[in-house]
Structure 1
Amino acid sequence: MAHLTFDDLYHISLTSLGSAADDWKEMVDQLETLATDARDGMVKQSEAARWAGVNADVTRPFVRKTGKEFSDAHAEAKAIWAMLRDAHKELAALQSALKEAVDVDAKNKQIQVTGLPDGTVQCVYLHRRDTNDEHTTAQLDYKDRLKHRINNLIAQADDIDNSASSALKKIHGNDSHDFGHAKYDSLDDAQSARAVQLARKSLAKYRDGGELSITELAELKRLFAQNSKDREFAVDFYKALGPKDALRFQAEIAFDAQNEGDKTQLKLAQSIQTSMGESLATATRPPTGKDDPNTAFREDRDYLGKAWQTDLKRVGRAPLTFQRNSARVEIRGYQVLGAILRHGSYDKSFLTPIAEDMVTFERKHPGAWPQPHNSYSRLGADGFGLNLDKDGGPGWDPMAGLLEGLSHSPGASTEFFHGSTGEGEHDGLKKISNLDYFLGDKDGKGAREWAYGAVGTKVSDTENFGKEALGHALESATSGRPYDSDAPAKNHTQEQADIFDSVVKRVAANPELFKGDGELAPIAGSLGNMSAEYMYDIQRVYAGGDESGYIRDTGAEPDLSKPEDKHTLDLFLKTTTADPDAYAAVTQAQELVTAETLRQAITHRGDNEDIGNLAEIAVTPGAMVEGNAAQGRADAIAAADDSAQKAQEYNDSLTAGDGWIGRFVDLGIGAIDNIPVAGDVAGWVIEDAREAVLDHRAADPDDAAKKIQENKDAYLTTERVKRAERAKQAFYDAATQAGIDAKNQSVKNAAQQVYNAAYSANAVEAS
């Protein structure tokens, strides 16, 4: 089969293709009229006629057949028009993208693009007399990315050309005297049919000990990559294969890709696995308005609804048997599904019921997830697994994949962790909240036991894939955003706040479980992100409420209003900040919230309000957070095998970036009322917070580690003085920016009041 080349796509005029599509649309309209006339005229009259003998036995069937041919001709013309219409639209978009890459991006960087005989391109920098033609690594990387981008556009165009051509042949059929062959409503239909054909071919070959060729895998990879977000393609693919064959196909290409040690095959299989997850998310997401029970729609066409999901549950619980290297491999469908769920953002109407069924099945069948012999926790020449990602483990424990799926699906994760399993009609299980199932009860006991990595070996501290995924899922559940999203923080719902409240209390109930070598220590980084997410609420708790209204309202609040809850928060923050990354997140959020609150207090003070009292109210809650974080860091450094290395990790985490400051800025710090002085309040807040965060670094990790080991309390007292001085300076900065004379004695007195308040509040570290 001839391939579309760079020159073909770049130079060809698509005008005639567009005109052909328009002409076929006219043909469709005319044939629709003829078909209607034949059906309502000739056929109807023939059926109504009182014929007997030859007329009844010969003429009437002939008329019926002729009428059907008109209808079939209309259907065939409509399918041809759909192919030409969609091919023109998609090829035109790809040609436009290609010309932008060549005529704009390549030209601006002085890169020459040349088509090669195999259809791909070569990219080289043009010679310049004023240089020696040497290029930086960044320039060479850009050239390679541009080449890949252009080749990908050509490959997509080639797939569209082949899909349209193949579909047109099937539409026309082999009998030129008969209409009514294959029918497609769109090019997506044709591409989905091709993907199904390749998947079924793969299943058939696997039964005979074979597999798809690299060329066929590459085609399948491109079909998925182009259409994984397309509802029509995704629904058609999964509906045609059904849950069992879809899971079998996924497992088989994963196993095959690890048999030969072929990196190209493994890379293609990995891409297909990713796209199958994204396609499943697309196919199971109800169309807008379609989840309304009063809205009429075709569930089997618009999305994979309850019937398909019910079948998936049945297949998920059932065993699936494979042959690998002459050995029998028996696993369960949910184990394969776990690898797929890692990818895509799923609607809660699909993912929550699946998650609850997986937990219910696991509770009823301990050890439900078999792990084949000779499989390893890391994929390698001799090991194999279901998950083809570089991270995330081999995938034999489907809960890791499920939780990773929840981490990208905030609606589902919130609903899941706010729900429970047990006390169903037939399950015979005690009702347990899903949060308790994974984290343990209010005393921190009874948490789920995680599977081993390789047969007979314990998962190392750096390979706690499932536990890390649990942390990611909780981030999603409490924030309303995918855990790895750069989207701004937003107001919390009551369900999200309730989950955070429960997490805080479970961590405080059993701190050792979440730090050091504790079973759930791998989620500590996520606990830090959740703490940052709820920093306004945390500071409001330490403030004993916020009658002044200076602490921003971020929606529903966790239920931490009881007097003893401050101690609970102390324990939670000390435990959380024993992790360097968590410490960085807490510190960033605390500094920014405190800086914002301080400026709110000063710029919105009443005429008769004492500036010192207001500033004290503003800085005290943040100082209490800061004191707990300092204690958590010092404890972790003191307990580390290499204290200096641990101190350096804290330094590194603080200098790695200021992601949380950026999130809070996007939340709307700029909405703080401007005051009539030069500059922007939001800018002051951000820069002061950034400077303060960097001040949290230990000046010398070796020196800090030595002092902590010798006398931790003395070290913390010294740090406490530094933090109080920083609070005092922050007050002076805010006052100056608000147009207040910092040399005024009453302002100096207020600054000292702030120092004393911050020093005193930091004393929580000694509790």
Structure 2
Amino acid sequence: MDLDALRFGNFSQLGEAVTDWEQMTRKLAELMKAAQDDLKAKADKARWAGVNATVSREFVDRTAAEFTDAHTQAGSITKILSDTRVELLDYRTQVNDAIERGAKRNLTVVDTGAGTFTVSGNTRPDWASDPGGGSGATDQQAVDDLRDEIQRILNKAAESDNSAAKVLNLLVDQAKYGFSDASYADRDSAARAVAAAEKLAKAAKDPASMTLDDVAAFNRTMSKYHGDPLFAEQFARELGPKGTLQFWTEMTYAHAGARGSELDTMKTLQKNLGLTLATASFSDSDAMRDWKRDLIAERNTNFRAGGAFSPIGALGSQVISSLMREGHYDTEFLDDYREKLFKADKAAGDAGTDDLWTKGYDALDVVFGDGNGRDPLEGLFDGLSHNPEAATHAFTSKSDLDHMLGTTSYTQRGEPLGRALEAAVTGVAIGDHSSAAPPHSSAQVQIMANVMRAVAQPGGGAGLVGNGLGASFGNMAASYMPEISRAFGSANAEVFLTSSDNPDGLDTADVTRFLSAVSLDPAGRAGVIVGESIYTSGLLEAHLSDPGLFDGTRDQVLRNIGKNAGTIEGIVGHSLADAAVGSAVDNENTYNEALQKKGDFVKTWISTGLGYGSVSLFPESRTGSAVGAAFGGFAGGVIGLAVDRLTDGQQLEGAKDQALYASAKDLYDMRDSVNQQTQWSTADALERHHVDLPKQGAGDTVRLAVNEGWNDASRFLSDAKERPSG
């Protein structure tokens, strides 16, 4: 920085800029509140149809989010500019004070341009004869001290100015269109993030020299900053796409076979690196757009560690996908990468896809943890499971969906595929308990219908459940209980409340065969039963607390809901009886564990009032408020009571003398369980909302309806599939 620029520069313009940005931030705060509380809130409650269900709803959501990002970005810019102005004014004061002190000692400071200056002493003839005037050496020391002091101040001022320019450019470039959600409390925090990224990238360029202690220190920094947009982008850009993949290749080779604390360190590194790159993927700067394009272009490159003996390393796609198992990656980036991987995988055919990725890579292990990372589709599916929008895009094509489901017979990708499908049809990322679920879009309902159709296909469709997909299918069925109920409800479908954009998009025969197949998997069955119990109890509470939700009598409501509960759980019970389940004790224990696990998971949804239970399973009143547990608190909610009874009282007990459900007694024990559960939920709702209906009469209505539905279940099964005789 030039000396005169600091001393005489017009900082009033910078002050005016700070004032303007402060005013802008306040105005954007008002617009953000209006967008969230008015625009988006009304859009969320609206019943969209046709094109509006997708295009308009998405436009409103994105517009509201842009106002939030605009406010965040304006706030960050304001703080960075304000901090920089305060610092520069302070440095101006410091340098002027230093020059004034020098002048008192007859030292002159002159700006010589281009960031240089001189300090010289004003020598007088009488100094030579005056012992106190100072010798030539003392004069030179004073010159040097003043020069060094001024240089230090100028260096700090230049650092303040340059770091502000760097972080502001990075911040503004984050979004090519719209605004960034990067938030910083001050200029220094942003500058420290950028500096930390540059330091780590420099270390990653020389992985061979990194000791385990170095990796641990690397982890500590990355754990702190992996969610910071400026840190993530600067790290990725400094290391480059090829350098990033080479770094991870070197790490997996150097620490192959890691055990104990070393294994934990490497697992943490893989997680932190994945989370950092996920954050970086959201930057839309020109440099990061090039970075993402070039990274995908490396998917067929052979990456070898420096000391590796074998000429066969890892495909770029194997390395990329191994880092996608953690983190929420940008939708557009995932779309581009997924499109190319799907194309290659489909070209190999269902049976050949495993050979495509694993043949010749027998020694490869680019994952610290489960699996070895040879199949890049596994990591991709995990990446999709954390981004519901990209997951929905991935499976909109029935051809792609059918191919991926078909490959599960020849690969180990069933479980990650299941997680990706869950995200695709529910709109909620795997493991996300804090985000309210959106209503099912038409595209999501169609994917769910296509999954059900694939499982319903005679001659092997049901076998998909055993390819690692059973638990996910059960969760998906739970989330789609409103649409499933309407598939069985026919003329009385309006009783089954839903916010789905396509509430009648599921085929009854496909639903029947799907539920029948999923019921044979213990975790899948637990999902169906938990979902049905939640929806039934919430539905009862909704209608009994708000009679205006259905244009009919309460008696009709009770009959329709009870019959539906009997039908759905009847399909489960009859399917198990038909299958003559073997290995009874093991199946019982597995089911009980799955039921408890899903019940505990559901309590997390209920206690927060969020998750995909909030919209998909908890019916809404006419005011748009979720009823039951999400509305009145978990402890006293009808849904909460139903879940507690389900997990504590409906677990199977004892294999007895024969296989589970092999006798009529076991089958009807299950019928009696759903009957009792439904009657209890009815009684809870009547009591909670002080509804004036005879308790015993209402219970009897429900009992008869459940039994009717249970019997109908056998008919639905017989109409939809071939069943064993006798």
* TM interval, short-chain normalised: 0.5 to 0.7
1:564-603 equivalent positions in 2, closer than 5 A: 565-603=507-545
1:474 aligns with 2:421: yes
1:598-613 equivalent positions in 2, closer than 5 A: 598-605=540-547, 610-613=553-556
Equivalence for 1:27: 91
Equivalence for 2:329: 346
Confirm or deny: 8 A CA contact 1:611 1:750 kept in the other structure: no
Equivalence for 2:384: 406
- Paired with 2:163 and 2:593, the residues of 1 have a C-alpha distance of 56
1:139-158 equivalent positions in 2, closer than 5 A: none
1:759 aligns with 2:707: yes
- Paired with 1:335 and 1:241, the residues of 2 have a C-alpha distance of 19
Shift of 1:532: 0.9
The 1:661/1:223 distance shift into structure 2, 3 A limit, reads closer
Confirm or deny: 8 A CA contact 1:588 1:661 kept in the other structure: no
1:395 aligns with 2:373: yes
- Paired with 2:660 and 2:316, the residues of 1 have a C-alpha distance of 55
- Paired with 2:566 and 2:544, the residues of 1 have a C-alpha distance of 18
- Paired with 2:273 and 2:387, the residues of 1 have a C-alpha distance of 16
Q: 2:159 aligns with which of 75, 79, 83?
A: 79
Task: Report the residue type matching 1:362 in the other structure.
Answer: D
1:267 aligns with 2:212: no
Equivalence for 1:140: none
Shift of 1:696: 6.5
1:627 aligns with 2:570: yes
The 1:360/1:76 distance shift into structure 2, 3 A limit, reads farther
Q: 1:360 aligns with which of 333, 339, 343?
A: 343
Q: 1:654 aligns with which of 595, 603, 606?
A: 595
Q: 1:644 aligns with which of 585, 610, 616?
A: 585
Confirm or deny: 8 A CA contact 2:471 2:523 kept in the other structure: yes
Identity of aligned residues (%): 22
- Paired with 2:657 and 2:483, the residues of 1 have a C-alpha distance of 32
Equivalence for 2:246: 248
SS at match of 1:341: coil
Shift of 1:407: 0.7
TM-score, normalised by the number of residues in structure 1: 0.63
What number of residue pairs does the alignment pair up?
545
- Paired with 2:254 and 2:299, the residues of 1 have a C-alpha distance of 21
Shift of 1:311: 1.3
Instruction: Encode CA deviations 1:228-251: one digit per residue, 9 max, x unaligned.
Output: 111222212222222112101101
- Paired with 2:214 and 2:648, the residues of 1 have a C-alpha distance of 57
Instruction: Encode CA deviations 1:127-173: one digit per residue, 9 max, x unaligned.
Output: xxxxxxxxxxxxxxxxxxxxxxxxxxxxxxxxxxxxx9xxxxxxxxx
- Paired with 2:339 and 2:93, the residues of 1 have a C-alpha distance of 50
Q: 1:416 aligns with which of 394, 409, 434?
A: 394
SS at match of 1:701: coil
1:556 aligns with 2:539: no
Task: Report the residue type matching 2:328 in the other structure.
Answer: S
SS at match of 1:522: coil
Task: Report the residue type matching 1:631 in the other structure.
Answer: H
Shift of 1:557: 2.6
- Paired with 1:704 and 1:671, the residues of 2 have a C-alpha distance of 46
- Paired with 1:35 and 1:26, the residues of 2 have a C-alpha distance of 20
Task: Report the residue type matching 1:644 in the other structure.
Answer: V
- Paired with 1:30 and 1:496, the residues of 2 have a C-alpha distance of 63
The 1:597/1:317 distance shift into structure 2, 3 A limit, reads same
- Paired with 2:575 and 2:673, the residues of 1 have a C-alpha distance of 17
The 1:336/1:542 distance shift into structure 2, 3 A limit, reads same
Equivalence for 2:223: 225
Confirm or deny: 8 A CA contact 1:35 1:74 kept in the other structure: no
Task: Report the residue type matching 2:367 in the other structure.
Answer: N
- Paired with 2:249 and 2:551, the residues of 1 have a C-alpha distance of 72
**Structure of higher RCO (CA pairs closer than 8 Å, 6+ residues apart):** 2
Shift of 1:214: 2.3
Shift of 1:621: 1.7
The 1:194/1:625 distance shift into structure 2, 3 A limit, reads same
Q: 2:432 aligns with which of 447, 465, 485?
A: 485
- Paired with 1:215 and 1:726, the residues of 2 have a C-alpha distance of 56
Q: 2:299 aligns with which of 316, 340, 364?
A: 316
Tell me which protein shows more helix as a share of its residues: 2
Confirm or deny: 8 A CA contact 1:573 1:629 kept in the other structure: yes
The 1:543/1:372 distance shift into structure 2, 3 A limit, reads same
Equivalence for 2:642: 689
The 1:353/1:23 distance shift into structure 2, 3 A limit, reads closer
- Paired with 2:161 and 2:469, the residues of 1 have a C-alpha distance of 54
Confirm or deny: 8 A CA contact 2:522 2:594 kept in the other structure: yes
Task: Report the residue type matching 2:375 in the other structure.
Answer: D
- Note the residue ranges of structure 2 that are not aligned, 5 or more in a row: 1-82, 97-108, 118-149, 167-187, 626-630, 718-726
Shift of 1:765: 4.1
- Paired with 2:87 and 2:543, the residues of 1 have a C-alpha distance of 70
Equivalence for 2:235: 237
Q: 1:543 aligns with which of 484, 489, 498?
A: 489
- Paired with 1:279 and 1:558, the residues of 2 have a C-alpha distance of 39
Confirm or deny: 8 A CA contact 2:571 2:713 kept in the other structure: yes
- Paired with 1:586 and 1:188, the residues of 2 have a C-alpha distance of 47
The 1:705/1:355 distance shift into structure 2, 3 A limit, reads farther
Q: 1:434 aligns with which of 392, 400, 412?
A: 400
Task: Report the residue type matching 1:592 in the other structure.
Answer: I
Shift of 1:692: 4.6
The 1:558/1:359 distance shift into structure 2, 3 A limit, reads farther
Q: 1:276 aligns with which of 273, 276, 286?
A: 273
- Paired with 1:494 and 1:659, the residues of 2 have a C-alpha distance of 27
The 1:731/1:373 distance shift into structure 2, 3 A limit, reads closer
1:199-214 equivalent positions in 2, closer than 5 A: 199-202=204-207, 205=208, 211-214=209-212
Instruction: Encode CA deviations 1:668-704: one digit per residue, 9 max, x unaligned.
Output: 7596589xxxx96973412441255247735522228
The 1:689/1:77 distance shift into structure 2, 3 A limit, reads same
TM-score, normalised by the number of residues in structure 2: 0.66
Shift of 1:336: 0.6
Task: Report the residue type matching 1:570 in the other structure.
Answer: T
The 1:582/1:192 distance shift into structure 2, 3 A limit, reads same
SS at match of 2:432: coil
Shift of 1:542: 1.6
SS at match of 2:403: helix
Task: Report the residue type matching 1:623 in the other structure.
Answer: G
Shift of 1:547: 6.0
Instruction: Encode CA deviations 1:346-399: one digit per residue, 9 max, x unaligned.
Output: 111111111111122334466442455663xxxxxxxx61011x33x0111111
The 1:191/1:323 distance shift into structure 2, 3 A limit, reads closer
SS at match of 1:329: coil
Shift of 1:658: 3.5
1:718-737 equivalent positions in 2, closer than 5 A: 718-737=669-688
Confirm or deny: 8 A CA contact 2:542 2:619 kept in the other structure: no
Greater shift, 23-32 or 651-660, is seen at 23-32
Instruction: Encode CA deviations 1:528-579: one digit per residue, 9 max, x unaligned.
Output: 111111112211222126565x433223236536xxx222111111111222
Task: Report the residue type matching 2:450 in the other structure.
Answer: S
Q: 1:524 aligns with which of 463, 466, 470?
A: 470
Shift of 1:523: 0.9
Confirm or deny: 8 A CA contact 1:322 1:328 kept in the other structure: no
- Paired with 1:670 and 1:336, the residues of 2 have a C-alpha distance of 44
The 1:282/1:687 distance shift into structure 2, 3 A limit, reads closer
Shift of 1:605: 3.6
Instruction: Encode CA deviations 1:694-733: one digit per residue, 9 max, x unaligned.
Output: 4773552222854633x3x453244324533544454444
Shift of 1:471: 0.3
SS at match of 2:323: helix
Shift of 1:404: 0.7
Task: Report the residue type matching 1:612 in the other structure.
Answer: D
- Paired with 1:608 and 1:343, the residues of 2 have a C-alpha distance of 48
1:330 aligns with 2:313: yes
The 1:716/1:246 distance shift into structure 2, 3 A limit, reads same
Instruction: Encode CA deviations 1:105-139: one digit per residue, 9 max, x unaligned.
Output: xxxxxxxxxxxxxxxxxxxxxxxxxxxxxxxxxxx
Shift of 1:450: 4.0
1:48-63 equivalent positions in 2, closer than 5 A: none
1:369 aligns with 2:367: no
